[in-house]
Amino acid sequence: MAYTFPSRHRTLALASAGALTVLGLLSACGTGSDTVSSPQKVPGAAAPATGDATNGDTPPGAASGASTPADDSAARPDGSSGSTGSAPSAHSSGTRAAPQGTSAGSTRCHTSELRATVGRNDPGAGQENFPLVLTNVSSRTCTVRGYPGAAFVDASGKQLGPDPKRSPGSPSTVTLQPHESAWAGLTFANPEVSEARAATPATLVVTPPDERDPLRVRWTAGPVPVGGNASSVYVTVLRPGTGP
């Protein structure tokens, strides 16, 4: 069978189609660096310098320990935080330090949270018996335990007689909700009966258990023994309530 050469018209058509195909491929692949799209900056102060923060690239400065904004959601289209630094964010929670001189778990009533009063006398057999009352005036629940300190002083602040002695007792923790009270007995022999040397105090100074700052109560119950025979004043442990 004889081979027939294609016509000149058909040959030119095929050559033109091939040339167009080559030009299309060259255009698609690019022939120079100025035909490649450059990365676009993301607007906003928290945006990375180049690229997209969601593509896994490390933002400039992160590898060198540079700080990142507390809330960098503007750098991520999905609004998630991209902070990887060790600095806490403004929204992170933390434990507030306990005030100086107190422990974080302390429930003890402090002097500033208490009010001291002296209840009505309940005399018997030549003995004077007063309830010394501590009331929680704070907005929190706190505790007292043991013996309060007490001292009688005159108008100039000078102590009258020795510190009261502690009556035997078993201390227990008394929990005071706001406005609740605990009381300790303050007892002494009537000076007229005991013939002890007496004086009339202006103030009873009361120090809550384990505290240094005192409370002051005006004393209006007359003379107390301050020296001589049967001059001792006693105080009992604190217990719930305002008196017997």
- Total domains present in the chain: 1
Q: How many CA atoms lie within 13 A of 19 on its CB side?
A: 6
For residue 161, is it left (φ>0), alpha (ψ between -120 and 50) or beta?
left
Backbone angles phi, psi at 30, to 5 degrees: 85, 140
Q: Tell me, yes or no, whether 161 lies in a domain.
A: yes
Q: Tell me, yes or no, whether 16 lies in a domain.
A: no
DSSP-derived secondary structure letter, 108:
B
CA–CA dist 121, 124 (Å, integer): 10
- Domain with residue 202: its CATH number is 2.60.40
**Tokens 């240094």, residue located:** 212
Residue 165 belongs to what domain range? Answer: 111-240
Token pair for 72: 């960098």
Tally the residues of the chain.
244
Note the pTM of the prediction, 2 decimals: 0.57
CA–CA dist 113, 115 (Å, integer): 7
Q: Tell me, yes or no, whether 88 lies in a domain.
A: no
Nearest CA to 81 out of 60, 54, 44 is that of 54
Model confidence pLDDT, tens digit, residues 156-202: 999 999 999 999 999 999 999 999 999 999 999 999 888 899 999 99
Model confidence pLDDT, tens digit, residues 94-152: 333 333 444 445 699 999 999 999 999 999 989 999 999 999 999 999 999 999 999 99
